[in-house]
Structure 1
Amino acid sequence: MTKSSIPISKTKIIVPPRRRELLSRHRLLERLKSFLENKLVLLSASAGYGKTSLLIDLANHTDMPVCWLALDPLDRDPQRFMAYLIASLAERFPGVGESSLNLLNNLKTIETDAEALLVALTNELYDRVEDDYLFIIDDYHLLDESPVISSLINRFLQLVDENCHLIISSRTLPDLDDVTLMVAREQVAGLNHMELAFQPRELQALYAQNHHKHLSDEKASELINKTGGWITGMVLSDSTGVQVANVDTFSYLGRQVLDQQPQHIREFLLRTSLPEEFNAEFCEIVLGPFYATSPSWLELMGWILDKNLFVLPLEDGRWLRYHPLFREFLQSRMKKERPHEIQPILERMVKGYEAVGEWEKAYFTCKQLSDPDALAGLVERAGTPMLQTALVTLEGWINSLPPATIRSRPGLISLRGAISRMKGNLPEANALLDTAVDLLKKDGNEAELALALVRRANTLRLLGKYSESMKDVDDALQIAGSELSLRSLYAEALRVKGLNSYRLGESRNTIEYLERSLFIYKELLETESISMLLAETAMVRAAIGDVEVAKDLYKASLERLRMEKNLITQADTLNNLAVLHLQLGEYEFASETFEEGLECARISRNHRAEALILTGLGDLYSEVEEFDAAVQAYEQAEKVASDVSGLFISNYLIVARANLALLQKKMGVAQTYLKSFEERQKINPSKYERGLWVLAEGKFHLLVGEYHTAINLLNEGKSCFLEDGREAEHQWSRIWLMAAYEQAGLREQARLEFNDLMVSKDRPNHTLLIAMYQASFWLTPLQNDPVIGKAFNSLLERSRQLGEKMPAIRRALRRLAFSIEMPSANLKICAFGRAEVVTNGRAVNISDWRTQSVRDLFFYFLDVQEPLTKEQIANILWADIENPDAIKKRFKHEIYWLRRAVGRNVVVFEAEYYRFNRDLDYEYDVEAFELYLKHAQQAQDVFERIGFYRKAIELVDGPYLSELDFDWVLLERERLGRIYRSALDELAHLYLETNQLQDCLKICELAHAQDRFNELIYQLELRAYAAQGDRASGARIYQEYKSLLANELGLEPSKETELIYRELIFR
């Protein structure tokens, strides 16, 4: 599962152990159980009424799964609160949090991102939790001062499904906006202090259980009347033998508990009341300086635990926590008796928390020192580690500081600039970082200056101001180069320099900078940076033609990112890998990778990656001539890019739309886009972007017959890409330049360009072939050239063959498209179940076929893969006809009506042989079924495999050609049936392995309909029911299978099935 960026204390998210002295209050348990049909249950009473004990008892007496969350004051921070809320649910339901934690770790603002976060979380709960469950939140009153938390809980209640029953325990009634509406809908119930108060009989039961004494009715009633049924009074009486009545609680705890302890225990109790929880190591760090010789901390902890001094052991007992009321009392006494010790204890607590990266605890503790400078220093030190994973929390800390403090500390101004950059507000970020850099140059703090310079360089890079960014990077490298403590910063500066070089068209230099950065990050074991550098280096390697190296780097990066569950960087990496697949002509891989990347980008709200991926899909569909889909993709990309700072994406989209218009011969549209880009180039010059523009502009002038202008532009583009090391774009420029030379009558220059192209390549690659295909109209005359004609004609023929494959490519892509709606195929064929053919949106009926025999001939053509003569076809379909003339006449008649029904080009005739034309734009469910299964077997990710298996199975609407009984049909029906049954087995197993138990059982039902004796399916069902805790259904299934075997085959279940039954069900 994705790891939370905020450290999670296990003791806050597990149900506390039920202590022996806890009394089960059946009256209240039954009432609570009766409330569990409600979506919200409120327990509201002041301290000491036994709310927590009652909920622990409920958790131990309910069959429902229970999620537990114990709050503390640190949870007032919304990012921390959500981290614990998700952790609590994930503790009981593994898999919950896979998506939502990624969103949480990359939260920009709670106002803008809370909805997406809560939707993701509640969707995960909907997908993974089918049964009713309890979600208990204890001590909610600690968050009364945080209205944003109330809003989060309120929205969670609105979004979560009805199977969630939330119980909130608080000293006050929670301020939830929709409680009134929920009350009206009868979705809320609760208990108050009067109902929680002990009754005489419960007090008598408490005494009998814990003291083995009988308390008379009179005494019980008297004590209840004096205490108002307050359970804490009862507990205190139990521990001391003294009755409590109408007495101040803290005074009582002082006289009867604290003052009764030895002096060294008394000191230990007071000093350890300041932290939320403590262990021996923590005591040594924080309390050690108060002692000349450190005592045995474990012995002290054991003493207070043995004496039952209101302390709870946590985890394996190495950590302790006081009862909240007792801790509150101890802290009040500490302030009166030992106020001089509070400051040094808190200061050492801050250092201790900071040393282990517990920044939230360090901040909360530091606030108690009432020292704004110390707090500001802590926030500065927390900045770099928290920027990537706790942005909202960090920004809240900065905003809570006095404005004068922020203005006086350039490190905080620099941090605010980094936060603004990460939130996408690049102009504001740049202004803040300008101020920080100016102040730091005056202060002479070189380490902070280098950090601010790198932050500003990154901001300038995203703004497209590459040269200015380079200057900052060089200054930072000069400072950081001589300091070992700044190695990480030095590596980051090299990374930014490499990315700048890439955008400036200096790809070869980029490799050096990125690989040096990667080497340093590997030395420092900075995992996240390593994954990012691997992907970025792969991107540049691909750009200069090192394809295999690039693929290996992408693979290594994605393996790391998937393990880290880093969806943001995963989306960027998948986009770059998909672009590489596209450049290699691996269209299906490109489509799948784009789609996977788009899902990662949307889940993690990585808008920049989302815009780039949609742009890439537009390029893919444009290249395969699916123009409507390309327009959809580009339009979606433009919409997302409008919310993304920086110019590269929006600039690239303009060129992409211009190129699409050129492919469609929409010259006016293309010219509008190109003029728009020319104006933008004046604002933000970049060699690579300039190259893209002059290439498109050159193609435009070629298409309108202005050949010499085209030649000048295309030559400039070729130079830009050559200097940049952009091999693919360099080839495109040469192909179109060759066409311009030919159209301008400059045959010799065209020959030279062609020869140079052939010398530079060992063999023609996809990039070259697709450019040849698109420019073939203007290149065709070169086929007859006496010098290069033979070699050129071979290359042109290969490009034409690529063009002929386009319908089949579009057909394959249509099956993989999720995000963009591709136009339907002209011909749709269904052979599973009842045969059906639709052409141009109209069903082909029997009157169109004229006879059923014509329809059978059509499906036979579909079934056979190799071309056949009419005699071979007759031998299979019309074995009763022996006369050659009769065969010829019947075949001629049926092939005529077949073509009339579904199209002239559906059946191709070549040298006496007939075959189905698989180059058509068609969709056939049998082919799609087998393709999905092929993808499922190749997929590495288990959920991706499940998706493909599910798509394949959904296509099967019955046996293959269920109305026909020819031998060739029966053979194919049996083959497909075996494949279908195997797919059901595999999908059921995958659902079981991923704990999608209900889906597993549904697939098992389908499998039973195919094969009633499939023992593997019965075994999977037994395991699924056992995992659900439904032994009754498991036993029923086992008995059904046992009876089936005995009655119909005279057999017994296998030993393996018997063992599964006995281990999981019959126990």
Structure 2
Amino acid sequence: MISILATKLYLPRLRPNMVSRLRLIGRLNEGLHRKLTLVSAPAGFGKTTLISSWIEGIGQSSAWLSLDEGENDPTRFLTYLVAALQTIAPRLGEEVLRALQSPQPPSTEAMLMALLNDLTITKDPFVLVLDDYHMIEAKAVDQALTYLINHLPPHMHLVITTREDPQLPLARLRAQDQLTELRAADLRFTLSEAATFLNQVMSLTLSDQDIAALERRTEGWVAGLQFAALALQGCQDPTSFISSFTGSHHFVLDYLMEEVLGQQDARVQTFLLRTSILNRLSSSLCDAVVLDPSLSGQATLEYLERANLFIVSLDSERCWYRYHHLFADLLRLRLQQSITSSPGDAQDRERQVHELHIRASAWYENHDLAIEAFHHAVAANDVERAERLIEGKGIPRHFRGAVTTLLNWLGSLPTAVLDAKPSLRVRYASLMVVNGQTTGAEEQLQAAEATLQGNEVNDTVRDLIGQIAAIRATLALTRYQIEPMLAQSRRALEYLHPNNLFSRVTPYWVLGYAYSSLGDRAAARQAFTEGLSLGRASGHTFNTILVAIGLGHIQEADNQLSLAAETYRRVLQLASDQPLQIICEAHLGLARVLYEWNELDEALQHGQQSLRLAKQYDRRVIDRYVSSEIFLARLKLAQGDVAAAAALLEDAHQSARRYNFVPRFLEVAAAQVLVLLHQGDVAAAARIAQAYEQPISQARVHLAQGNPLAALAVLEAWRRQAEAKDWKDERLKAMVMQSVALKAHGEKDEAVQQLCDALVLAEPGGFIRLFVDEGLPMAHLLSEAEALGRTPNYIKKLLAVLKADEQRSEDPLSLASQSSAQLLIEPLSQREVEVLHLIAQGLSNQQISERLFLALDTVKGHNRKIFGKLQVQRRTEAVARARQLGLV
């Protein structure tokens, strides 16, 4: 996960003797009823100090976020935004935070919508401060903040401090009276404020004339006054000093900087310059960077605070500080000038600055802050160190917040550097694939190969060749290219070093899915099993989860439902709180098993969780949400909500077509056939079953058309094929359908025997819905099988579920025809709706009796009830009235 630097969330501490600015506090208070307060002024005008003092006095909860360059990454910005809000409500945005850490988070708008929904739960008013927003240059972050402002809940107030106006809809907010603005002219010290600051805060004894002159010279600029006050301490002739500088802020600042630094002894100057590379300061970090035993980091920081030398304490324990941003900028400029001012020594001085960054990087690495360590390694141009940090576990390569940072660095490297280190190009391509950027990855791999061609083929080179093949195998998987998946995975395993366990998991994972797609489940099981063993040995959670999910799929296909459920639950346990979208597949697999066990409520929970996580992927690239919608449609169908099932399937169908998710076409079609048959549209179901050549679906259509002989022919051929390939799940499905078709064909004894054989195979897995979803025909068959004494307890369990389903179907409709039902004297039951659909198709009572396996008198009884509820006398009137109400 992205490491959160807690000091960015601290409200800067105030000095006890600061200047009171009641006129500005009043304006801030008056603006609380608006959405946004913007404090925009150049550096050194006291923006942060003003807002800090105001926050401490308003009596409301507040969240604070100090921004820096890193938050130009939208993922990092949103991560810190949520972290800041959690200082008010610790559970707020938990789901968003988890989603942000995943390889392919949902859209920014979707995450902000979820965050805003969470914010509505917190009713107490609060203020969120975004300090130093001028550090943000990314348009995506501006757009995210604009969305947040547009939908800001009424109890939330946003404050932005910045050196320049942000790219936000300020004009519209002004027109709507939703914007409070404080600018440089407002923030300038008045003469009385300048007098208080100079003589009371800075302990000078200036005359009114000198104060007025200094205020004119600095134009009330707070930083200029502070620099002047520091320079004046100990000055024998303040009047002459004040009159000796003129010009713009830039020149005043240069002059005063010289004066202020000149008053510090050489050791303090050294400390200031060396620690200027740090965004945050702690005693041990400063000790590590300065590397001077005679300069205590803690003592020097406390001295700088006592001397008012532009340092801000970030916590009450005085453990963390930062320099005033303007002061830090000037110190860094001075550090850079020290390199360029002496051409003869420039290279050595630059090397010394790089050493400062290396020491900072080492400190951060030792304190498990890998991203900060990486940033300093990059600042030092230490490619080897940066690459080593990338390879370490401190920067999880499947979390986009970290991946974006790494990709930005790799993209900034000169071609010569990348050509000299093909391992960097390989890592570049790998991270692009992780980030969903498949375009350009192959070019990086080809460039790496071109460099490797001139190298001796030692173990290192062979391993890189293996890594390249593993990346290509993954690329092939995203494109459903089976042959390249097989070829590149095998090449990867041939070349990868035996000790490179992390990389070796990937080709086993891809091999497993390739074999599974080809129907070779034994080979797929072996590949997934070997990959799982390597994944556990490597200790890398993400890859272990990938192969475990693949193994779970194979266990399901082999009717080992208990093993599959155990595998999926282990995946969820392994993922723990890690925000991995890939576990949507574990939720979906577990949902399928639970559905089969008739644990519908829990199945629904896991199915919905699967869909929620799957939708966080880029829906144009990843098709997992389609499978989730198909499952939920099947579940809704089992619950009798045909309309909801049809709606889910329509969305799944459109998505699969729009983005050409070919492997999902068959899944969608099979579910569509079921829904259409429930709706009585046999013709449409027949067209789909024929178009996709699905034997089970074709058999269902044949049965609906009253042609069980054709159904048996299809099922027999499909069963032989499933047995030849050892497809246990398809064989069992075929046997169940064969028993229904044999019964419809009048071969009762053979149907019961076939069912008993299927029950023997199904009982160890605990299958329930496989049988009961066949409805009344299965109930009759099970009753006859019960008399034979085969698997008696299992049959009783199935019959009990069938009875419960039948009772539910006879309940008045509350879902499928809710809007229509309220126009009726009494709502139609589910069974009456089925009969009505068949009447609308022109079927006779006898045909309906055969279709639904009902006695003829029962059908006639349903007719009477339907006519009475619709208030009609005959069939044609019933159909017309039903169409008017939208029932058929």
Q: Tell me the TM-score range normalised by the shorter chain.
A: 0.7 to 0.9
The offset of 1:282, in angstroms, is 4.0
Q: Assess if the C-alpha contact under 8 Å between 2:71 and 2:77 holds in 1.
A: yes
The offset of 1:62, in angstroms, is 0.9
Q: Assess if the C-alpha contact under 8 Å between 1:380 and 1:411 holds in 2.
A: no
Aligned to 1:590: 603
Aligned to 2:130: 137
The offset of 1:579, in angstroms, is 0.8
Tell me the SS of whatever aligns to 2:555: helix
Letter paired with 2:32: L
Q: What does the per-residue CA deviation read over 1:155-199, in whole Å, with 9 as the maximum and x for residues that have no partner? A: 3211212332222222223232x2111111111122222221112
Aligned to 1:672: 687
1:653 and 2:652 aligned? no
Equivalent positions of 1:272-283 (< 5 A) are 272-279=275-282, 281-283=284-286
Aligned to 2:826: 839
Q: What does the per-residue CA deviation read over 1:730-776, in whole Å, with 9 as the maximum and x for residues that have no partner? A: 21111334556677899998687556445545578425523764765
Q: Assess if the C-alpha contact under 8 Å between 1:615 and 1:653 holds in 2.
A: yes
1:268 and 2:258 aligned? no
Aligned-partner Cα distance in 2 for 1:743–1:31: 83
Tell me the SS of whatever aligns to 2:65: strand
Aligned to 2:225: 234
What is the aligned counterpart of 2:485 among 469, 487, 493?
A: 469
Letter paired with 2:114: A
What is the aligned counterpart of 2:147 among 142, 145, 155?
A: 155
What is the aligned counterpart of 2:64 among 34, 54, 68?
A: 68
Q: What does the per-residue CA deviation read over 1:665-711, in whole Å, with 9 as the maximum and x for residues that have no partner? A: 64432343234325xxxxxxxxxxxxxx3333455456667777755
Aligned-partner Cα distance in 1 for 2:59–2:611: 40
1:80 and 2:72 aligned? no
1:608 and 2:623 aligned? yes
Tell me the SS of whatever aligns to 2:107: helix
- Coordinate RMSD, CA, aligned: 4.6
Letter paired with 1:656: A
Q: Assess if the C-alpha contact under 8 Å between 1:731 and 1:767 holds in 2.
A: no
Aligned to 1:167: 159
Letter paired with 2:571: S
Aligned CA distance change for structure 1 residues 810 and 392 (closer, same or farther; 3 Å): farther
What is the aligned counterpart of 1:766 among 745, 768, 790?
A: 768
Tell me the SS of whatever aligns to 2:276: coil
Number of residue pairs aligned between Structure 1 and Structure 2? 803
Aligned CA distance change for structure 1 residues 798 and 554 (closer, same or farther; 3 Å): closer
Equivalent positions of 1:53-452 (< 5 A) are 53-106=49-102, 108=104, 113-125=107-119, 127-143=120-136, 145-176=137-168, 178-207=169-198, 209-210=200-201, 217-239=208-230, 240-242=233-235, 245=242, 246=245, 248-279=251-282, 281-283=284-286, 286=289, 288=291, 297-298=297-298, 301=301, 304-305=304-305, 307-315=307-315, 316-338=317-339, 339-340=349-350, 341-346=352-357, 349=360, 361=372, 365=376, 385-390=396-401, 391-394=403-406, 396-397=408-409, 428=439, 435=446, 439=450, 442=453, 445-452=461-468
Aligned-partner Cα distance in 2 for 1:588–1:813: 21
Aligned CA distance change for structure 1 residues 791 and 313 (closer, same or farther; 3 Å): closer
The offset of 1:231, in angstroms, is 1.9
Aligned-partner Cα distance in 2 for 1:7–1:533: 27
Aligned-partner Cα distance in 1 for 2:784–2:216: 112
Aligned to 2:859: none
Equivalent positions of 1:834-873 (< 5 A) are 839-840=826-827
Letter paired with 2:595: L
Aligned to 1:479: 495
The offset of 1:402, in angstroms, is 6.2
Aligned-partner Cα distance in 2 for 1:323–1:596: 46
Letter paired with 2:17: E
Tell me the SS of whatever aligns to 1:805: helix
Aligned CA distance change for structure 1 residues 185 and 646 (closer, same or farther; 3 Å): same
Aligned to 1:857: none
Q: Assess if the C-alpha contact under 8 Å between 1:505 and 1:721 holds in 2.
A: no
Aligned CA distance change for structure 1 residues 370 and 434 (closer, same or farther; 3 Å): closer
Letter paired with 1:191: L
Tell me the SS of whatever aligns to 1:36: helix
Q: Assess if the C-alpha contact under 8 Å between 1:433 and 1:452 holds in 2.
A: no
Aligned-partner Cα distance in 2 for 1:706–1:900: 29
What is the aligned counterpart of 1:52 among 44, 48, 58?
A: 48
Tell me the SS of whatever aligns to 2:33: coil
Letter paired with 1:128: I
Aligned CA distance change for structure 1 residues 552 and 386 (closer, same or farther; 3 Å): closer
Tell me the SS of whatever aligns to 1:91: coil
Q: Assess if the C-alpha contact under 8 Å between 1:18 and 1:56 holds in 2.
A: yes
Letter paired with 1:557: V
Aligned to 2:696: 695
Aligned-partner Cα distance in 1 for 2:583–2:652: 19
Q: Assess if the C-alpha contact under 8 Å between 2:9 and 2:64 holds in 1.
A: yes
Aligned-partner Cα distance in 2 for 1:811–1:232: 80
Q: Assess if the C-alpha contact under 8 Å between 2:532 and 2:547 holds in 1.
A: yes
Letter paired with 2:28: L
Q: Which has the higher contact order (CA 8 A, sep 6+)?
A: 2
Aligned to 1:17: 13
Aligned-partner Cα distance in 2 for 1:580–1:160: 42
Aligned-partner Cα distance in 2 for 1:433–1:214: 67
Aligned to 2:557: 543
Q: Assess if the C-alpha contact under 8 Å between 1:13 and 1:68 holds in 2.
A: yes
Aligned to 1:454: 470
Letter paired with 2:135: L
Tell me the SS of whatever aligns to 2:400: coil
Letter paired with 1:195: D
Q: What does the per-residue CA deviation read over 1:80-139, in whole Å, with 9 as the maximum and x for residues that have no partner? A: 223222222222232222233234334759xx92322322222222x2332332222222
Gaps of 5+ in 1: 679-692, 816-820, 829-835, 843-898, 905-1067
Aligned CA distance change for structure 1 residues 337 and 638 (closer, same or farther; 3 Å): same
What is the aligned counterpart of 1:636 among 643, 651, 654?
A: 651
The offset of 1:616, in angstroms, is 0.4
Tell me the SS of whatever aligns to 2:507: helix
Identity of aligned residues (%): 21
Letter paired with 1:117: M
Q: What does the per-residue CA deviation read over 1:57-93, in whole Å, with 9 as the maximum and x for residues that have no partner? A: 1111111222212122333333322322222222223
Aligned CA distance change for structure 1 residues 217 and 296 (closer, same or farther; 3 Å): closer
Q: Assess if the C-alpha contact under 8 Å between 1:728 and 1:767 holds in 2.
A: no
Tell me the SS of whatever aligns to 1:94: coil
Aligned-partner Cα distance in 1 for 2:553–2:705: 35
Query: TM-score, normalising length from structure 2?
Result: 0.77
Aligned CA distance change for structure 1 residues 233 and 735 (closer, same or farther; 3 Å): closer
Aligned to 1:7: 3
1:578 and 2:587 aligned? no
The offset of 1:597, in angstroms, is 3.2
Letter paired with 1:140: Y
Letter paired with 2:128: F
Letter paired with 2:474: N
Equivalent positions of 1:762-911 (< 5 A) are 765-767=767-769, 769-770=771-772, 773=775, 776=778, 802-809=801-808, 822-824=816-818, 839-840=826-827
